[in-house]
Amino acid sequence: MILREDKNDVAVLTLAHGKVHALDLDLLRALEERLGEVEGSAARAVVLTGSGSVFSAGVNLVRLLEGGAAYLRDFLPALTTSMSRLFFFPKPVVAAVNGHAIAGGCVLACACDHRVMTRGPATIGVTELLVGVPFPAIALEVMRFALPPQHFQEALYTGRTWGVEEALRRGLVDEVAEAPALLERACAVAGALGALPPATFRLTKAHIRQPARERWESSRARIDAAVGEIWAGAPAREAMSAYVRRTLRK
């Protein structure tokens, strides 16, 4: 589900869950578990990527609709736990965006310290409002942190996805690499960050993300309660069903 391969001091974690690595309970829990393993290991940095030609297509809406209220009650906390674990992870994390990174998949990439995206037809962006659901508090803070202020509101409100060159201009990714060199480049960046004194890097990263952490911790209970109500409501479920029919032909 999440494969691990160590390249020198870098732990490469590869999403391998279905065709598009859609986020469901199983994948979210596996990500949290893998990050825990890496944190306690000798690896000094992480590269997060996807298998095949997709990084992640975001939340598995089909599973969410089929699972109903009981599944949603478990899913949203697991989403928050795994994303916060990635965003505040004490070691360097580099995203090797090997293909489409949509909605929650884009948030996963943006939770990393550096994003390298493959050149080609892949797109990246946050489509949550088009699906009909609001962002959990941690996802919104990740995007606020990652995006330049002048592009933050547009990205969320429009739900647009962008190709690699436009994503680079808008700050969704930090650099572009040809597909054959993507993983090598991501590992090189991760290795360079991992070579920094660990305690110094850990404290610096914590300080950089501290304003986001404080906003998240002060508002998460209130916001996520409202998020849960909307996600569970009939209008959102109808909107999700319509989105699935449009995009997945189901």
Active-site residue set: 128
Q: What pLDDT is recorded for position 193?
A: 98
Distance CA 241, CA 31 (A): 27
For residues 27 and 1, is the Cβ–Cβ distance under 8 A?
Answer: yes
What is the pLDDT, as a whole number, of residue 72? 96
Which parts of the chain sit beneath pLDDT 70? 249-250
Domain boundaries, the chain: 2-178
Q: Which one, of 127, 159, 108, 135, lies nearest residue 231 by Cα?
A: 135
The pTM (predicted TM-score) of the whole model is 0.96
Q: What is the pLDDT at residue 249? A: 65
Task: Classify 2-178 by CATH class.
Answer: alpha beta
Q: Mean pLDDT in the chain?
A: 96
Order of strands across the sheet that contains 93-97: 2-7, 10-15, 45-50, 93-97, 114-118, 175-177
